[in-house]
Amino acid sequence: MIGMKVYKLLYSKGVTPNQYFLLLSKQQKFSYPKYLNEYSEFISLQEKNYVKRVSDDPESEEYLKFIITNEGYELLEKVSELFNETKVVKKSKYDEWLPYIEKYRLLFPTGKQGSKPIRSNVRELYDRFIWFFENYPNIT
């Protein structure tokens, strides 16, 4: 549930998903002003110290531009780490069947019938066994 972890992190930092998207788009140098009121979101991010104005002079053109602060980069890094967490491969309840599936497979001769092999590979048999025992649980 990476999405929930990201949401909780953003919520704990007082950052909305739109504000995170804006920080990310600023970092990656792309923009969607048509879909997002960037200026108001930048003002909110500035209040939280995730961005700062390029210039403090209201007369300057640079006054409307923002750059990401160290805190902003730290937040982006934390979210990135959440997305890069290694996924734990859960062992299936069917994994214990693999030795038996291999024994079953060896009951059939090697070779081909026409252009198709007589034996199925273990992966195909594995999927078929799962289908069979999920559809016919009373047969063991």
Reading the chain (140 residues) residue by residue, the pLDDT tens digits are: 567 888 899 999 999 999 999 999 889 888 777 778 888 999 999 999 999 988 888 888 888 888 899 999 999 999 988 887 655 555 666 678 888 888 888 888 888 888 888 888 888 888 888 888 888 888 76
pTM of the model: 0.58
Q: pLDDT value at position 71?
A: 94
Q: pLDDT value at position 90?
A: 57
| In the chain, domain spans | 2-83, 95-135
CB 92 within 8 Å of CB 133: no
Q: pLDDT value at position 45?
A: 93
Residue 105 CB partners (closer than 8 Å, separation 6+): 119, 120, 122, 125
75: β partners: none
Residue 53, CB half-sphere, CA atoms under 13 Å: how many?
Answer: 15
3-state SS, residue 120: coil
